[in-house]
Amino acid sequence: MKIIFLGRLADAAGERERTLDLPPDITDTGALRRWLSDEYPALLDPSVRLIVNDVLAARDQPVSANDEVAFFPPVSGG
């Protein structure tokens, strides 16, 4: 699975993207977020959104090993 970190999440992660082997028990975005939060605690922030294969993900959307998942923080204008 390709993981992409956008905005301040890339700064917090220290990288913009990473390719991971997805464990078989990680089957949805909620489980993915919890699994990655050990290494990237900022992902637990409820305002962080996910995009799965270029589509805004719903809560607990199914994911698979071939997906591309982007995590992005809230955006504010001004």
- Alpha helix (H) residue ranges in the chain: 8-13, 29-37
Q: Report the CATH architecture of 2-72.
A: Roll (3.10)
Residue 33: per-residue pLDDT: 95
pTM: predicted TM-score of the whole model, two decimal places:
0.90
In which residue ranges of the chain is pLDDT below 50?
A: none
Q: Is 46 helix (H, G, I), strand (E, B) or coil?
A: coil
Residue 77: per-residue pLDDT: 56
The full set of domain ranges for the chain reads: 2-72
CA distance 34 to 29: 9
Residue 75: per-residue pLDDT: 73
Strands (E), 1-78: 2-5, 17-19, 49-52, 55-56, 68-72
CA distance 11 to 75: 15
Backbone angles phi, psi at 15, to 5 degrees: -160, 155
